[in-house]
Chain A
Amino acid sequence: MISTLLAISLAGSIAAWPLSKLFGRHAGWGLASLPAGLFAGFVGLATTIEAGGRISDRSAWAPTLGIEWSLRLDGFALLFCLLVTGIGTLVVIYAGAYLAGDSLRNRARFFTLILLFMTSMLGAVLADDMIVMFVFWEATSILSFLLIGFDADSASARRSALMSLRVTAGGGLALLAAIIMIGSTLGTYSMTETIARAPEIAQSRWIQPILAGLMIGAFTKSAQFPFHFWLPNAMQAPTPASAYLHSATMVKLGVYLLARFEPVIGQVPGGRDVLIAVALATMLTGAVQALRAENFKSVLAYSTVASLGILMMLVALDGPVAGVATVGFILAHALYKATLFFCAGNVLHATGLSKLRLMGGLGRFLPVTAAAAALASLSMAGLPPFLGFISKEFLFEAQIQSSWNAVPVAVAVIVNAVIVGVAGVVTLRPFFMGRGKVREVKHREVPGLVAAPLILALLGLVISLDSDWISRSVLRPAVSSIYGRPVELKVALWHGVTPIVLLSAIVVGIGALIFTFWGPIHRRLSTQSALHRFDVEHAYDGMLRALDRVAVRAAARVHHGDLRGYIRVVIAGALGFAIWGILASGAVPRIDSGTGAMNAGAVVIALTGLAGAVAATRSQSLLAAMIAVGLSGLVTALLFMMNGAPDLALTQFAVESLMVVLLTVMLFIVPLRAPSTRTPPERRWDAILSAAFALVMLVVLLDMTAAAPRNDVSAFFGRESYVAAFGKNVVNVILVDFRGFDTLGETSVIALASIIAWSLLGPRNALEARMGIRSGKAAFVLAFMSPVFFWLLLVMSVIILLRGHNEIGGGFVGGLTAALAFAIVSLARGVERARERLRLHPLTLASGGLLLAIVSGMPGLLVNGDFLSHIWIDTQILGVSVKQGTTLLFDLGVYIAVLGTVLSFLFGLRREAAR
C-alpha cells in the first residue's frame, strides 16, 4: 500500500517533465494534483494510525546483505508525510506562478526536481530498513544540491550548492557508518527492531562511534552548530525550494532521526548532554546571526537555524511533554516559516529587492501577502490564539518538567525573544512601516502566488482553534510512536495563569524590546569583526583551500610528467614483489651442477648476443644502438635454431629484417646523435636497478632450469598432434588447432595495430592521399634485382604457409616473409611501386585476414558446435590422398593479417619520412 503511494509519487515526478511542458503556463495547478492526491491518500490512512495501528510493507531487496525493502507508516511518519505532501502541494502551485517568467525548460526542471525531492523525503520518513532510509536520505541531499544550484550560471549558487552537498552528504556517510555498525552489532537494519533493542545497543562496545555517526548525520542535515553554515547559503535556491526544503521539511530529517533514536540516546551516559550542548550553541548562533543578517531570506534562514536548535533541544529533553513539544513545534514551525518564505519570495518577485533595509510600505502593493505574513508572524511570535503559542507553551512545559537545570530555560527565553523580534522585523518593517520606500512593483499579486502563503497562515490559526482532528489523528499517534506507548495529549489554548504563561509573557516583552531597538542592535552586531572572524564558513573555506594545496602537491609529486620516473616505480615495484615472493617462499635457489657438455661455438654465439646488448646500452648513436639490438635478436634466432626451434628462428630472422627496414625509416627523420639524457648519478641508479633485476632473473632462471621439467602438456600435444589434428608440425598444430582461440586473439591484436598505423601515419588530407608517397633512388643493383627478390620471397612465403602444418613454417612466418618481399620493392623502386604490386589497401588486407581467420572457425561451429574446431576433408588429387582442413584457411587468415599490418606500417612510415 505505502510502496504503491511511493511508486505513484516517483512515476508522477518523472512524468512531470513532459507534463509541465504540455500544461504550459498553468503547469503549477496541474502538477499540484500529484502531491494533493498523495496528501488525500495519507489522510485516508490516518484512521488506521489513529486506532493505534501501523501499516507495514516489506519485501526482499538484497537478502544476502540483510537489506529489506521495508516501509512503515506510524504516527510520526504520518506527520511528516502530511507535511511533505501538503506543503508540497502549495509549493508546486506557488512555483508555477513564481517561475512564470522562466523558460519552459527551466520550469520543467524545477517541477521534476521538487517532486523527486518530495518522493525521496517520503521514502526517508517511511523507510524502516535503515539502509533504505539512507538511500532516500542521500537522495534528498542530492536534490537539495541540484535545487540550490538551480541557477547554474551563478558562481555563488554553484558554490553554495557544493557546500551543502559536501556538508550534508559528508554527514550522510557518517550516518551510513553508524547504520552499518548497528547492523553488524544487532544483525538487523530494521529501525523498529533497533529501537526495541535499545538497551542492547546501548551496552555494545560500538555505542560511541554509532552515536557519533548518527549525530553527525543528523547535525549536518538539520544545520546544527558547527555545520549550520550551509543553510543560510542554501538561500541561493529559488524561494519555493527554500520554503520547502530548507525550512519546512528536509532540514527536519536530522531531528526526525534523533527523535526516533531518543530511547537509545537516553540510555547512554552523556548522550543527552551532547545534544543539549549542540542545540544551545545552534540556538544562540542562529539568534545572533538572525539579528546581523541583512537579507529577508537570510534573516528567515538564521531564525530557522535557531528553531532547529530548539527542536534538537526538545529531542534531548526527557519527560513525556518533550515529545509533545517536539511534534507540535515541527508542525507550527513548518506552517509559519514556509509562509514567511513564500512572502519573502513574493517581495523578491514583485520588487527584485532582497535587503530588508530597502523595503517598506509594501502592504499597499501586496495586501494579501502582507496579511499572510502578519498571521504567520503572530504564530511565530507565539501569541495566542495561534498554533505557535500552543507549541511554545509545550516547549516551556517540557523544559520545566525535565531534569535539567535553568541554563536551557534561560537560553530558550532569549532565543525565543529574538524569534519574536525577528517575526516583527520581517513583517512590520517591509509591509507596514516605512511607507514610500518602494514606489512601484514589477508584478502584482496573482492567485498562484498568494494561495500558498494564505492557506498556510490560516491553517496556523484554524488548527489551534479547532485542534480536535489534528491532535487526535496526527499529533497523539506521532508522540506515541516516538515513545513507543500511548501518550495523553491535551491541546488547549488556555490553561490559566501558570509559570509557563509568565515565561511566555517575558519572552514577548523582550521580543518587543528587540524589535523596537532592532536598528541599533543590528548595526552593533554587524560591525562586530570578531563575530565575522570566527565564522565557521571561514574554517570551511580554509579547509577546502588546504585540501587543494595538498592535492596539487601530491599530484606534482606523483604525476610529475617524467616517464623515467614512472617506469622506475614499475620496475622497482616488480623487483620488490619478486624478491618478496622468493623470500616468503623460503626456498633456497637450486643450481644445476651437471650442466652437461659445453659447446664452445654455442658459448661464443650466446656471449656475442650479450655483447650486442651491452653495446646497445653504451652507444651514443641511435643507429649503432639499433644495430647492436639487432645483433642480439639475430643471436637469439641462432640460439633458437641450434636448440630445435627452426620455426622460431625463421620468425625471428624475418622480424629482425623487417625491424631494420621499418626502424631505419624512423632513424632517417630523428637525430641520430643521442647524447645521454640522464645525469651520471641517474645512470648509476638505473644501472643498479637494472642489474638487480637481471640478478633476480638469473637466480630464478637457474633455479627453474635445475628443477625437473613438467612435460605433461607437451607430451599430450606430442601424442595427439597427428592422431587428432592431422598435423606433424606440433608447434603449428598447437597454434592453429589446439590453442586456435589464443592465436585468433593474437591475430586480432596484430590486425588492430594496422588501424593505429593508419591513424598515426596515414594521409592527413585528401591531397596527400592522391599525391602518393615520394621516394628517393636506390642503388642500381637493388633496383635491378628487386623483381627477382620480390617474386622469390612471395613464392617462398606461400610455400612456408602451405607446408606449415607438417613441416617448418606457418601463417606468421609466411606473412612476415611476404611483407619482406614488398619491403624490398619499396626500398628499391619506391613505396608507390610496392602499393601498385599490392593493389589492395593494407587496412583491407589486415581486416580481411582477421575476418578469414574468424570465418574459418565457423564450419566447426556449425558441424561440431565448437568454434574453431577444424573440419578435415579427404580428397584424391591425381591418385594421391590429400587431406585438407579449415586449419589452412585459418593460417591463411593469419598470413594475410600479418602482411596487411606490416605493410600499413611500412607505407605509413615511408609516407611520414617523405613529409
Chain B
Amino acid sequence: MTTIYAIVAAGMFGCGLYMVLSRNLVRMILGLSLLTTAVNLVLFQTGRMRSGQPPLIAEGATTLGNSADPVPQALILTAIVIGFALTVVMAALALRAYRDHATLRSDEIHSALDLGDSAAERNDR
C-alpha cells in the first residue's frame, strides 16, 4: 500500500510540474494547486500511515494511544490553507493580467520586464 501511495504522490507531483511549465497562466495556476496537493501527500507519508485512528486522546485517557502521527497533520493543515490562499492570489493576478493584456500567455505579458526599459516607458507616454 505504501508503494501505491508513493507512486500516486510522485505521479501527481510530476503532473503538477508539467502543468506549471505551461505558458497558459490558468493552467499554470491549476498545476500549482496540484503541486501543493502532491506535496501535502508527500508530507503525510512522513508519518508512515501506520494507523487509521485519528490522533485524538480517548475518553478517560490522558495520553495518546495508538493513532496516526499528529505532527505531519499539524503541518499539512496549515499548508492546505496557505496553498489555497496562494492559488487564489495567483488567480487574482492572472485575472488582472488578462484584463490588461487580453491574453493568458505568460510570454506575451511583459509589464514587469518593461518597468526598467526607458524605451518602453517613452512609448507609453
A interface residues (Cβ-Cβ under 8 A, vs B) = 559, 561-564, 567-568, 571, 591-592, 595-599, 602-603, 606-607, 609-610, 613-614, 616-617, 622, 625-626, 629, 632-633, 636, 639-640, 642-648, 651-652, 655, 658-659, 662-663, 666-667, 669-671, 674, 676-678, 686-687, 689-691, 693-695, 697-698, 701-702, 704-705, 709, 711, 713-714, 717-719, 721-723, 728-731, 734-735, 739, 742-743, 746, 749-750, 753, 756-757, 760-761, 806-808, 810, 812, 816, 898, 901-902, 905, 908-909, 912, 915
Contact = CB atoms under 8 A, between A and B. Distances in A.
B119 interface: no
User: What 3 pairs across the A-B complex have the smallest Cβ distances?
Assistant: A694-B14, A644-B68, A718-B64
Contacts of A718: 55, 57, 63-64, 67, 70
Given A595-B1, A697-B13, A908-B92, A709 B48 contact: yes
B117 to A, nearest CB: 11
B92 A909 contact: yes
B85 A739 contact: no
Nearest to B51: A644
Nearest to B70: A730
Given A606-B4, A671-B104, A749-B82, A564 B42 contact: no
B56 A807 contact: yes
Interface string B89-125: 1011111101100001111001001000000000000
A758 to B, nearest CB: 10
20 contacts: A562-B107, A563-B23, A602-B4, A645-B73, A647-B77, A667-B26, A670-B104, A677-B107, A686-B18, A693-B14, A704-B46, A709-B48, A718-B67, A742-B78, A761-B96, A810-B77, A812-B80, A812-B81, A901-B85, A908-B92
A294 B33 CA distance: 72
Given A567-B20, A616-B15, A648-B76, A760 B62 contact: no
B37 A632 contact: yes
Nearest to A599: B1
A670 B6 contact: no
B17 A734 contact: no
Nearest to A719: B63
Nearest to A756: B89
A595 B10 contact: no
A567 B21 contact: yes
Interface in B26-67: 26-28, 30-31, 33-34, 37-38, 40-42, 44-57, 61-64, 67
Contacts of A671: 104
A648 B89 contact: no
A647 B54 contact: yes
A901 B16 CA distance: 26
Contacts of B63: 718-719, 721-723
Contact of B15 (A613, A659, A714, A909): A613
A428 to B, nearest CB: 50
The listed residue with most A CB atoms (<10 A of its CB), out of B24, B61, B77, is B77
A694 B9 CA distance: 9
B99 to A, nearest CB: 7
Contact of A761 (B19, B20, B67, B92): B92
Given A651-B77, A746-B82, A722 B41 contact: no
Contacts of A613: 11-12, 15-16, 34, 38
Contacts of B68: 643-645
B110 A561 contact: yes
A689 B22 CA distance: 13
A629 B33 contact: yes
A603 B37 CA distance: 18
Nearest to A670: B98
Given A561-B113, A643-B52, A643-B68, A905 B88 contact: yes
Given A636-B41, A648-B80, A686-B18, A610 B64 contact: no
B35 to A, nearest CB: 10
A606 B3 CA distance: 11
B62 A722 contact: yes
Interface of B: 1-24, 26-28, 30-31, 33-34, 37-38, 40-42, 44-57, 61-64, 67-71, 73-74, 76-78, 80-85, 87-89, 91-96, 98-99, 104-107, 110, 113
Given A563-B23, A723-B63, A610 B55 contact: no
A616 B19 contact: yes
Given A629-B33, A731-B73, A562 B52 contact: no
B84 to A, nearest CB: 5
A559 B27 contact: no
A711 B69 contact: yes
Q: Is the interface of A mostly helix, strand, loop or mixed?
A: helix
B92 A659 contact: no
Contact of B6 (A645, A705, A810): A705
A677 B40 CA distance: 28
A571 B20 CA distance: 10
Nearest to B69: A714
A730 B8 contact: no
Given A645-B44, A697-B10, 14 more contacts: A567-B20, A609-B12, A613-B11, A613-B15, A629-B34, A643-B49, A647-B77, A648-B77, A695-B14, A698-B10, A704-B46, A709-B46, A709-B50, A808-B56
Contacts of A742: 78
Contact of B55 (A599, A663, A729): A729
Given A616-B34, A701-B42, A731 B74 contact: yes
Given A613-B12, A734-B74, A622 B57 contact: no
A698 B9 CA distance: 8
A652 B44 CA distance: 13
Nearest to A649: B54
B78 A648 contact: no
A617 B19 contact: yes
B3 A702 contact: yes
B34 A632 contact: yes
Contacts of A693: 13-14, 17
Contacts of B26: 622, 666-667, 670, 674
Contacts of B37: 629, 632-633, 636
B42 A735 contact: no
B45 A705 contact: yes
The listed residue with most A CB atoms (<10 A of its CB), out of B7, B34, B92, is B92
Contacts of A676: 22
Given A643-B49, A704-B46, A705-B45, A695 B71 contact: no
Nearest to A686: B21
Contact of B33 (A659, A713, A810, A905): A659
Contacts of B4: 598, 602-603, 606-607
A595 B78 CA distance: 30
Nearest to B78: A746
Nearest to A745: B78
A749 B88 CA distance: 13
Contacts of B16: 613
A610 B7 CA distance: 9
Nearest to B107: A562
A551 to B, nearest CB: 13
The listed residue with most A CB atoms (<10 A of its CB), out of B30, B47, B67, is B30
A595 B45 CA distance: 14
Nearest to A711: B69
A670 B63 CA distance: 53
B40 A669 contact: no
A816 B80 CA distance: 11
Contact of B44 (A640, A666, A898): A640
A643 B4 CA distance: 14
Nearest to B14: A694
Contact of B21 (A564, A714, A757): A564
A690 B74 contact: no
Nearest to A697: B10
Contacts of A760: 92-93, 95-96
Given A689-B21, A690-B15, A734 B71 contact: yes
Contacts of A722: 57, 61-63
The listed residue with most B CB atoms (<10 A of its CB), out of A625, A662, A667, is A625
